[in-house]
Amino acid sequence: MRWIKALLGRRRAERELDKELQFHIEELVAEKIARGVDPAEARRSAILELGGPAQIKEDCRDVRLLHWLEVWLADVRYGFRGLRSSPAFTLTAVLSIALGIGANATIFTLLHAALWKPLPVSEPKQLFHMQRLSSDGWTGEGGYSWVLYNQMLEAGRPYGEVFAKAGTAMRKFSVDGSQQDRAVGESVSANFFNALQVGPFLGRTFEPQDDSVLGGRPVAVLSHAFWQRRFGSDPGVLGKTVLYEERPFTIVGVARPGFQGVDAESAVDIWTTITATAPKEWLTGPHWNWMTLFIRLRTGVAPQEAHTALDARLRRHVTEELLPGAGAYYTRILQAQKFTLRPAAAGLATTGRRYQKPLLVLMGVVGLVLLISCANVANLVLARNLSRQQELGVRLALGAGRGRIVSQLMTESLLVAITGAALGMVLATWGSRLLLGLLPASRIPWAFDLRPDTTIAALGSSAAILTALLFGAGPALRACRAAADRITTGSSRVTQRGIAGKLLVSGQLALSLVLAAGAGLFLATLYKLATTDLGFRPERAWTADLSYPRGTSDDRKAQTMREIVNRLQARDPQALASHTFPNVYDHGGWSTGIGIDGREPAKGEDNEVCSFGVGARFFETMGIPLVAGRDFTKRDEGDGPAVVVVNETLARRFFGSTPPLGHRVMQPQPKKQFLAREIVGVVRDVHHQGLREPVCATIYIPAAGGTLLLRSGLSQSDVTEQIRQELKQADASAVLEQVRPMRAAVEGMITQERMIAILAAAFGGLAALLAAVGLYGVMAYNMARRTSEIGIRMALGARPGDIRTLVLRESLVLIGAGLLAGLPIALAATQLTRKMLFGLSPGDPTVFGAAVLLLVVVGVMAASLPAWRASRIAPAIALRNE
Amino acid sequence: MDKKQDLLQGTLDVLILKIVALGPIHGYGIAQRINQISKEVLQVQQGSLYPALHRLENREWLTAEWRDVNGREAKFYTLTRAGRKQLQTETQNWERLSDAVSLILRAAE
């Protein structure tokens, strides 16, 4: 653009001005000398007369600056005038761009907040997450024991500070014991705040003495936000004692504002030390691996050096303390584990890393949507510039430079793009919140920081400039050339414009096919997941979590569970109640090694199975069909003979075709003993670990306590009320934490797929709509241009039907060309989604066929209006038009 | 009062256009010409000549090229089509204005 050129050409202009002034002075001096003035005096007076070159140069600079400002303002004014005079064009163009940029900014905002935004601590680049990964990546991330943490801390000393955090969860919290509350609590090593370099806002953070294996000090640090929210910013909070997990803790400080922990997705309210919160046995042995470790490297330390030392220390720990006495299964896991230092400037990013792949795929999707909107706007601009060719031609003829005209047209495009981008950014702040709503509800409320920051703003403005160039530059140059042609030849090359528009529309259709096929694959995946037989009936089934006061004995908990199950069944004979530990659709049970029929598991033998502890009538309650044998009864729960129910996978693996009923499973007990349990039932396989995981060989053992299960046709609030009432009768000290429909747990497993399917379908639909608008525009324009031709055809005897066929045939050529071009792109692009699909491959012919059909239908619909209109042209009027 | 008059604001532009209209000429030459033509009554503040030239060049009323003068390079200005049109308009404006002013002056006598 001209004003940019003016800005860039500054240095050359300065040089030329120097030369010009020099010439002036030389001439003046020469003239004075010719008149007989002394040479030295001549030079002095010449410079005096000129008024000082520095001053002149300054004035010229002002002129230039003022000039480009003026030109630019004139362009902006001209642009605004032009846009105001055609509101329909402006609105369509701005909205297209706003949707395109808005979709991009939405996905980017979430990606940024979940994955990339640096923690609000100094030098976040020095932070590394110490990962213990099993060979299958993310799913097998191991924790660290307190013993191991201390070993790593020592080993890491020369390179930096190793610090730990654990157990971020909703915790019981109460200020004076009267009102039970929940707060997000996290336990950390005492050097947590110092290593992160997060200072106190009030009081102090933790100090080394707060950690002690003998129990630590019961002190707590509050987050600034929690202190404001819960304590009304009361500075008197220091020294106050609160009940945290039903134990007294003294508040010693409030952390610096803005700091909410090392995971961007959750805002921690209260920190305690690990030693003060964890049970003593967790702090002494190497087998409780539950902590997450980080290291802040010292300035100048290469991560590689630290990695080598820490990796060696971890291996020593594994060889010396874990491998001796480990079973075959655990040995395999330990040996496959890899240690890595993951850069953690953005913190732990738990959810961000889990959703990275789908979010990146969606980023690609919205990128395509933006391209399609740009193509659409480019088409609009082409048509618009064409209608202005007369005006542009006149201005060229009057001596306006081509650069000038291109600059004006581009300024107009830039105005559209900037307005669209601004609107898009507003849409994005709203859209990213909506997107967050599609994520599964987490146990801790999401606390992603979705406020736009400089990165997002930079993205928005560069997107604006990029889109303006994409949709504005081509049409502007073309308009200029066409206008110039018009001057020389008296007519414009309209046909060329037709080709450009057709190419754009075909391109749009090609990209739309990529999106439609992608959306189809995701929708089919979702459908397959949602309709796969889980092995149980989640409908009308509810799970209820109970909690008990600290120190409640297991016997008492078992008693309460028996009592409430009895009460619920007595209250409603239609209802079924049971219990399970762990919950049936969360983690997939404990892993345990078993033996069969008196034979204890041999060392190194793969005999790991999943194990659930369940109550009487569990299978009936869950709707898990029995293949053979019977369900558990109350007697199994009590002191009856030791029994077990196995699933089909286990039966197949350990018994082949022999019926397993009556055989015995040897279940490991503490102190290396085995308990023989008789198999009394075989049940259908249940996808306890999620639909994508293979079914685990599973044993179900009668046990007490756990999560309450209820099958009842009542509504959630009625079920909740019923359980609450009965629980009060059964055990007044127990608290009902939450009641969830089983369906929600099942749906929770496919939220990621649903989110992608919904968004891909929405964006695919948007793309198809944009392509349809583009096709309509091009066909309508072409028909308007060919009015006289069609008039002649009709005058020569063509019927309206023939004309419709003519138009539709041309449209179909466009559609076909676009789809043909799009097919290989779509086939290649969808390969990237292979891992995200379930039950079908990326090139699924049905999905591709449906996508092609959909776009053909949409395209023909878009073309039928111009076709119909063309068939109604009256020949006489058409000819008179010319 | 000094015999040499300062140029009326804005008239410098039209004088420059007029002089350049007579043929390609460099900055020093323009200053000399204004002095000669106006029989040395009008003295161009040489300092304001160059900003004015740049302004006119920016508005694309003048174009410039470097030419050789006795072995030295000088920047020669020429009128563009737009500049010629501008000169016409400005001249008409000027005539209208001076007519109006003399009319008023005569009427006031």
Q: Which residues of B touch A60 (CB under 8 A)?
A: 50-51, 54
Look at chain B and count its residues. 109
**In the predicted structure, residue A80 carries a pLDDT above the cut 80:** yes
**Other beta carbons within 10 Å of A40:** 9
- What does the H/E/C string look like for A27-84? HHHHHHHHCCCCHHHHHHHHHHHHCCHHHHHHHHHHHHHHHHHHHHHHHHHHHHHHHH
Cross-strand bridge partners of residue A675: A667
Residue A484: predicted pLDDT: 72
Closest in A26, A398, A404 to B72, CB measured: A26
Cα-trace Rg, chain B: 16
**With pLDDT > 70 as the criterion, what percentage of chain A qualifies?**
93
Q: Which two three-digit tokens encode residue A18? A: 């120097």
Cα A830 vs. chain centroid, distance in angstroms?
19
Residue A173: predicted pLDDT: 87
Q: ∠ CA(A710), CA(A715), CA(A717), 5° rounding?
A: 95
DSSP state letter for A245: T
Mutate to test the interface with A, among B16, B30, B58, B87 (most CBs of A within 10 A): B58
Q: Which two three-digit tokens encode residue A97? A: 């761009």
User: Model confidence at A334, in pLDDT bands (50, 70, 90)?
Assistant: confident
Closest in B48, B50, B81 to A21, CB measured: B50
- Give the ipTM: 0.78
Residue pLDDT, tens place only, A805-859: 888 898 899 899 999 999 999 999 888 888 888 888 888 999 999 999 999 999 8
Contact across the interface for A67 and B59, Cβ inside 8 Å: yes
Contact across the interface for A52 and B47, Cβ inside 8 Å: yes
Mutate to test the interface with A, among B54, B62, B79 (most CBs of A within 10 A): B54
**In the predicted structure, residue B108 carries a pLDDT above the cut 80:** no
In angstroms, the separation between the Cα of residue B80 and the nearest Cα of chain A is: 8
Q: Helix A845-871 vs helix A751-785: angle between axes, to the nearest 10 degrees?
A: 30
State the average pLDDT over residues A164-181: 82
**In the predicted structure, residue A198 carries a pLDDT above the cut 90:** yes
Distance CA A727, CA A798 (A): 84
Residue B4: predicted pLDDT: 43
Q: Where are the beta strands (DSSP E) in A361-450?
A: none
- Cβ burial of A691 (10 Å; 0-12, 13-18, 19+) is middle
Distance CA A863, CA A803 (A): 13
Contact across the interface for B51 and A62, Cβ inside 8 Å: yes
Q: Which residues of B touch A16 (CB under 8 A)?
A: 75
User: Model confidence at B1, in pLDDT bands (50, 70, 90)?
Assistant: very low
pTM of the full structure: 0.73
Cross-strand bridge partners of residue A678: A643, A664
Distance CA A698, CA A705 (A): 19
- Distance between terminal CA atoms of chain B? 23
- What does the H/E/C string look like for A738-781? EEEEHHHHHHHHCHHHHHHHHHHHHHHHHHHHHHHHHHHHHHHH
Helix and strand element counts for chain A (H, E): 30, 23
Q: Which two three-digit tokens encode residue A646? A: 């196995």
**Is residue A567 within 8 Å of A726, Cβ to Cβ?**
yes
Distance CA A94, CA A450 (A): 24
Which residue of chain B has the CA closest to A67? B58
Helix (H) or strand (E) run with residue A495 in it: helix A494-531
Closest in A17, A50, A64 to B46, CB measured: A50
DSSP state letter for B5: B
Contact across the interface for A50 and B55, Cβ inside 8 Å: no
**Other beta carbons within 10 Å of A717:** 9
Q: Is A99 helix (H, G, I), strand (E, B) or coil?
A: helix
**Is residue A141 within 8 Å of A348, Cβ to Cβ?**
no
Contact across the interface for B31 and A64, Cβ inside 8 Å: no
DSSP state letter for A574: T
Residue A129: predicted pLDDT: 93
State the average pLDDT over residues A471-487: 77
Residue A34: predicted pLDDT: 87
Closest in B47, B55, B80 to A67, CB measured: B55
Q: Which two three-digit tokens encode residue A174? A: 């109460």
**Other beta carbons within 10 Å of A163:** 26
Residue A5: predicted pLDDT: 58
- Residue (of A742, A709, A539) closest to A612 by Cα position: A709
A582 preceded by a cis bond (ω within 30 of 0): yes
User: Model confidence at A268, in pLDDT bands (50, 70, 90)?
Assistant: very high
Least confident of A172-181, A213-222, A857-866: A172-181
CB interface of A with B, residues 10-69, below 8 Å? 16-17, 19-21, 23-24, 26-28, 49-52, 55-56, 59-60, 62-64, 67
Residue A7: predicted pLDDT: 55
DSSP state letter for A144: B
Residue pLDDT, tens place only, A24-34: 888 888 888 88
Q: Match 């023939």 to its residue by tokens.
A: A802
Q: Is A624 helix (H, G, I), strand (E, B) or coil?
A: coil
Residue pLDDT, tens place only, A173-184: 888 766 778 899
Distance CA A874, CA A788 (A): 10
**In the predicted structure, residue A464 carries a pLDDT above the cut 70:** yes
Residue A126: predicted pLDDT: 94
Residue pLDDT, tens place only, A86-97: 887 888 888 888
In angstroms, the separation between the Cα of residue B105 and the nearest Cα of chain A is: 35
Least confident of A496-510, A846-860, B22-36: A496-510
Read off φ and ψ for residue A370, nearest 5 degrees.
-65, -40
- Cβ burial of A393 (10 Å; 0-12, 13-18, 19+) is buried
Residue pLDDT, tens place only, A107-125: 888 888 888 888 889 899 9
Contact across the interface for B27 and A398, Cβ inside 8 Å: no
Average pLDDT of the residues of chain A: 84
- Distance between terminal CA atoms of chain A? 38
Contacts of A418 (CB under 8 A, 6+ apart): A461, A464, A468
Residue pLDDT, tens place only, A596-618: 887 766 655 667 788 888 888 89
